[in-house]
Amino acid sequence: AQRVTQPEKLLSVFKGAPVELKCNYSYSGSPELFWYVQYSRQRLQLLLRHISRESIKGFTADLNKGETSFHLKKPFAQEEDSAMYYCALSTTDGGKIFVFGPGTRLSVLP
Amino acid sequence: DTGVSQNPRHKITKRGQNVTFRCDPISEHNRLYWYRQTLGQGPEFLTYFQNEAQLEKSRLLSDRFSAERPKGSFSTLEIQRTEQGDSAMYLCASSRTGEAFFGQGTRLTVV
């Protein structure tokens, strides 16, 4: 069965510090991986997806198939990065369902 | 706003009543999803449509839940005989080929 885990419910860092949000997945097929972000009182929105290999708002994530991980990183956190972050995988067989992790709340302190 | 639209935004209902939520996806998106989210959890998959066909249903979706997508456009999610455990945020998302775009959600409170 498909599963996404995010071990940290809450991560607090100081402004300017590096941040890494961990994500691991299990899926027998070849998944697509995504990071979604939810700012306060806003809808879930895509932050980045592994196939585009873009850097969005200074965030990057590399898919490591050997470790089945897709950790999200940013070298210098900003206060406006404070939000809920959800890692998700999209199944590629049949229905293309999106499976989400439980989320990590990032708090960037001044 | 040309994004995914959900109505109502909030619904308070008494236990045992039926409720229906509506989702209007982005117009060219053929895939539509319903998710449920409770406090401290990520979105949990409920069901998935490709055009008008309901292709996947989660085991979370008891027989009190039914979803439709007539003509492959908007979708409705109905919960019959609501229970307090149904209180949650119900999210709709649509997709064409890649990422899913989410609506603001409908927050259901069963009292």
Taken in order A7, B104, A90, B77, the sign of the CA dihedral is: positive
SS3 A80: helix
* B42 class by beta-carbon count within 10 Å (0-12 exposed, 13-18 middle, 19+ buried): buried
The minimal CB distance from A46 to the residues B44, B55, B99 is found for: B99
Q: Which of A3-17, A85-99, B50-64, B65-79 has the lowest mean pLDDT?
A: A85-99
In this structure, how many other beta carbons lie within 10 angstroms of the beta carbon of residue B86? Answer: 19
- What would you report as the CA-atom Rg of chain B, rounded to the nearest whole angstrom? 13
Closest-CA distance, B55 to chain A, in angstroms, reads 7
Please tell me which residue, A88 or B71, carries the higher pLDDT value. A88
pLDDT at A102 over 90: yes
Chain-chain contact of B41 with A103 (C-beta, under 8 angstroms): yes
pLDDT at A99 over 60: yes
In tens digits, what is the pLDDT along chain B, a chain of 111 residues? 579 999 999 999 999 999 999 999 999 899 999 999 998 899 999 999 999 999 888 887 889 999 999 988 999 999 999 999 999 999 999 998 888 999 999 999 999
Q: Compare all CA atoms of chain B with the CA of A46 and give the residue at the minimum distance.
A: B99
Name every chain B residue with its beta carbon within 8 A of the beta carbon of A102: 40-42
What mean pLDDT, rounded, does chain A reach? 91
Task: Provide the 8-state DSSP code for B71.
Answer: G
Reported as a single tens digit per residue, the pLDDT across A39-59 is: 998 999 999 988 877 778 999
